[in-house]
Structure 1
Amino acid sequence: MRIIPIASGKGGVGKSMVAANLGVAFAQAGQRVVLADLDLGASNLHLVLGHQSPKNGIGVWLNDTKSDFNEVIADTDIRGLRFIPGDTEIPGTANLKAFQLKALVKRFMALKDDTDILVLDLGAGTHQSILDFFLLSGQGIVVSAPAVTAVLNAYVFLKNTVFRLMFTSFGKGSKARTYLEQARKDGSGPQKLYIPKLLPEIKKIDAPSYEKFMARIANLHPRLIMNMIDAPKDADVAMKIRRSCEEYLDLKIEHLGVIYRDNIQDTALSSRLPVVLYKPNSILSQAVYRIADKILSTDQEDTFLNEKEIEESFQEAGMEAEIDFESKVDYVEDLLHSGALSQGDLVETVKSQQIELAKIRKENNFLKFKLSKAMAKGYKP
């Protein structure tokens, strides 16, 4: 069974849209799929999937982990796709206790006999349980958007993932664990602790812990999806995440592709249908299918990518951004010529884009202000 955790460092980047539609695409390709909503406390995946409001979800089961887990697994109208709802009504489900996490992982693993792919729609942020679910697979997906805050949070998520892997690799009381905890107490914090600087010292003081961590991180190969882009240049933002991961985390990431922003997603949502079912030929849907094909064409056991393959994945994503943009422009021109899109509609579209650009400029200015303030205090990266 292939496990595909889908995360984001920030809410509002379309993570649940990606998870739901990839689940449908996998099922349409003949895979037996289970889609689980683990955005506990803010569960809304059933809305994107077009599934009726669930009576029982994971939250109900977590209050009685000895009950039958099959009761929270629901069939859908889509052949080959089953759904595990989350919960928004039960307090505390966003913060799982250790025994609950362990019990839930055990139930997930028990699905392997009749499941080919388990898609986990994780909550936004870097809570410990979210990181642990992400680490169930070496090929988890991080969804980001071109906005500065989204890119920053995607990197922070990956950084916390690496430090979580490091922390769990070092046994309690080990020299490596003591060194790491002391470094954090000294005020370095995860935001200033860089893997390439830490590892030589850890290797020196605790070789067994170092070897254990290196063996585990060798199997960690996260994948990136850049969602909600408006122009080909937005795809270039992914390079910032890549460079930061390589320089500060010594971590290689693969680019799965880009998805353009499209208001058709809102229409599909109001129609209670995943967009790949509502309009399968749309640019958004075709991008989802393209990403699904890439995932299915990869051997789940073959997680290692060399530098050339990683570089090619980023180049391919850039080319796809150009091609999809041309298709998007052609589509708008066809609508204008046919009369299906009026000039008023086009004006409203431009206005909405200007509003979005204004928001991004504000985010940029805010981050520049914080950076200049930090530099004035003598901060050195």
Structure 2
Amino acid sequence: MSQIIPIASGKGGVGKSLLAANLAIALGQQGKRVVLADLDLGASNLHLVIGQHPGKASLGSWFTEKSEFKDIIQPTDYQNVSFIAGDSQIPDLTSLKHVQKVKLIRNLKNIDTDYIILDLGAGTHQFILDMFLLSPQGILVSAPAVTATLNGYLFLKNAVFRLLYTTFKRGTPGRSYLDQFKQNTEQMQKLYIPQLIQGLGVTDPQTTQLFINRMQQFRPRLVMNMIENPQEADRAQRIKSSCNQYLGLEIEYLGLMYRDMLQDKALASQLPVVVYKPQSVLGQAIYRIADKIISSKPHSFDSDFSPDSFSNDNFSGVEEDANDDFNFRLSGIDDLVSGGSLTISELAEMIKTQQYELTQLRKENNLLKSKLIKAAEQGFKI
């Protein structure tokens, strides 16, 4: 049975696709059969990282032309590695219907290979969360930057809530208990998962035990990228502590990758780092991560946690644009500051950075406005 490895990130630009591509090749070099799938629909560019021409066979063609799924699994120039191209022509993940998502999940699970690596889009769209929950051992890529840490934590918080609402289905006493909070999302966001489990245990003990079991099975793995010095690696332990305290979630530390300008040269050459310069610091870090994956025992959710259970139910505070929801972001900041993952000075630095970015955006906006006004005036003169 193949092992699915979803790779996600709370925000873009932290090296998610870098890890996905190089990890696939590193595993292939060790004799493992790997299928690398670009599920960053609407922004598919994984083929550039591995230097693969996507061609016409892609997920987009499979969705629209009803072709055979096996026909879009294309060989690559790398030993034991096959590739499923995404499709940048799919503008929005919400265009995928529930039946299409279930069909995709079932076809992925039926691939005859050792590992299936899913390069997911950034953020917390329901589709991304469901793909991440295809395995209890998905990989979250983050970076030591404060915003990356916050978004990484928020991604895991969203995943836990998605697991919660997938377990407590409509009609169960526990769902009725959860629905009481829908009118007060701020209260729900401030209620930590361990506290919530206590209330659910009284209302719906049977389903609550099932959720506890699934939380024990759920062991996402963290990779810290763009490390500049050993002190920044401590951020991983801080995220782990906050997840344990506020989400009741145990995460595993899979490894770190130092910032390496070599990646830019490799990307320009359309060669993965482990091919371009395997002995580099970055290349060796990826090989260590691959070794850990091979040596670790694979885990799975219980058999009742099937693709059909991934409903379209949304919780109003943990929905498609949760990272942009003000109250939800504040709850994440509260958790990380209270747990010591963010210091007050780091929080202040994040605010300063965001203020600077807002100022720059205002300047660009004013410049564009002035250009539009001038263009309109010239048009009237003509």
Q: Do the two structures share a fold, i.e. TM-score over 0.5?
A: yes
Distance 1:146 1:94 in 2: 31
Which letter does structure 1 place at the counterpart of 2:9? S
Instruction: Please report how far the alpha carbon of residue 96 of structure 1 lies from its aligned counterpart in structure 2 after TM superposition.
Output: 2.6
Aligned counterpart, 1:201: 199
Distance 1:367 1:90 in 2: 30
Pairing of 1:254-269 with structure 2 (within 5 A): 254-269=252-267
Distance 1:184 1:151 in 2: 27
Aligned counterpart, 1:242: 240
Which letter does structure 1 place at the counterpart of 2:102? K
Are 2:48 and 1:47 aligned?
yes
Which letter does structure 2 place at the counterpart of 1:70? K
Aligned counterpart, 1:148: 146
Aligned counterpart, 1:230: 228
CA contact (8 A) 1:34 1:81 kept: yes
Distance 2:120 2:259 in 1: 21
Deviation readout 1:76-116 (Å, 9 max, x if unpaired): 001100000111113334653211110001111110x3x00
Pairing of 1:1-381 with structure 2 (within 5 A): 1-64=2-65, 66-93=66-93, 95-111=95-111, 113=112, 115-188=113-186, 191-301=189-299, 362-363=349-350, 365=352
CA contact (8 A) 2:93 2:127 kept: no
Q: 1:361 to 1:18 in 2, by over 3 A?
A: farther
CA contact (8 A) 1:21 1:288 kept: yes
CA contact (8 A) 2:136 2:299 kept: no
Instruction: Please report how far the alpha carbon of residue 302 of structure 1 lies from its aligned counterpart in structure 2 after TM superposition.
Output: 8.9
Deviation readout 1:127-184 (Å, 9 max, x if unpaired): 1111111111111100000110100111111111111011010121222112223213
Aligned counterpart, 1:347: none
What is the identity percentage for the equivalent residue pairs of Structure 1 and Structure 2? Answer: 53
Distance 2:45 2:188 in 1: 31
CA contact (8 A) 2:41 2:90 kept: no
**Scaled by the length of structure 1, what TM-score is found?**
0.78
Deviation readout 1:7-62 (Å, 9 max, x if unpaired): 10111100000000000000001000000001111111111111114323112212
Q: Which one is further off, 177-186 or 282-291? A: 177-186
Instruction: Please report how far the alpha carbon of residue 233 of structure 1 lies from its aligned counterpart in structure 2 after TM superposition.
Output: 1.0
Which letter does structure 2 place at the counterpart of 1:42? A
**Scaled by the length of structure 2, what TM-score is found?**
0.77
Distance 1:40 1:189 in 2: 34
Aligned counterpart, 1:310: none
Distance 1:186 1:53 in 2: 46
Which letter does structure 2 place at the counterpart of 1:363? M
Aligned counterpart, 1:325: none
CA contact (8 A) 1:95 1:129 kept: no
Instruction: Please report how far the alpha carbon of residue 189 of structure 1 lies from its aligned counterpart in structure 2 after TM superposition.
Output: 6.0
The root-mean-square deviation of aligned C-alpha atoms, in Å, is: 2.2
Instruction: Please report how far the alpha carbon of residue 215 of structure 1 lies from its aligned counterpart in structure 2 after TM superposition.
Output: 2.0
Q: Where do 5+ consecutive residues of structure 2 fail to align?
A: 302-345, 357-382
Distance 2:355 2:24 in 1: 39
Aligned counterpart, 1:341: none
Q: 1:299 to 1:43 in 2, by over 3 A?
A: same
Instruction: Please report how far the alpha carbon of residue 209 of structure 1 lies from its aligned counterpart in structure 2 after TM superposition.
Output: 1.6
